[in-house]
Amino acid sequence: MSTNETILYNGVRMPWIGLGVWTEAREDATEAIKFAIKNGYRSIDTASAYANEEQVGRAVKESEIKREDIFIATKVANTDQGYESTLKAFEKSLELLKMDYIDLYLIHWPIEGKSLETWKALETLYKEKKVRAIGVSNFQINHLEELMNQADVKPMVNQVEYHPNLTRPELREYCMKHGIQMEAWSPLMRGQLNEHEVLKEIALKYKKSVAQVILRWNIQGNVVTIPKSFNEKRIIENSLIFDFELTDKEMEDIFALNQDKHLPPPDLSKFK
């Protein structure tokens, strides 16, 4: 196995680092994705709600990298949840991406009274081999337990907000215990940790940036990471995290920065 990949419990290989393409300003992601692929990225994380699946598909096609060499994740929007509506939403995502299958399909947010039906649709897509892996996003332990009590296939991934100020030890332990790969969105806390003295000291030691130290901490902690950037310098910088290793003490020092601090809650109307 490449050290740049983890293996999900069903045997599917997933890169440790990918490019997140959520942007509140809705700028075009096409060129950033093409640049990332050209510079070694092999995982792109999008969602129906991001309104850029078409851009992802175009960038992958124009990159001339074989489809099977790119790991594509997308998500079913809140307003599409439910069994039949999820199946229709999936077909629309495939059409926009201009792809025959998706590597990872996620429920974007837990919706009471809907997510179990939605999960049954994801199981159908998985059994029909239209998706290689299925999972959830923003699920807490209670959501996961409710789901797994009625699921035929347990989630392979849980994508959540995760960074040094929000380390979610109980959720991380739960996911590891059940073989669910945890994945971090907003791993860099939108740059809010760049001046933290503990992180700056570690970065200085390794001649790395604070962002690189945080992303290294992610993967050494067995958390897949998808930093979002459309800046070419940062896209390259974020990927250069496989040539150094944090010590156990440095890992512990970063875990100790936890404050259970969330970023401001997203406007869920933008995740339709």
Q: Which residues are catalytic?
A: 50
Of the candidates 263, 258, 106, the residue with the CA atom closest to the CA atom of residue 172? 258
Phi, psi of 72 (to 5 degrees): -110, 125
Three-state DSSP at 221 gives coil
Pairing of strands 19-20, 223-225: unpaired
Query: What is the token pair recorded at 242?
Result: 């496989």
38 sits in the region (left: phi over 0; alpha: psi -120 to 50; else beta) called: alpha
Of the candidates 2, 4, 21, the residue with the CA atom closest to the CA atom of residue 235? 21
| Cα 90 from Cα 108, distance rounded (Å) | 13
| Cα 161 from Cα 263, distance rounded (Å) | 8
Q: Is 108 annotated as a binding residue?
A: yes
Annotated binding site for substrate: 108
Binding site members: 108
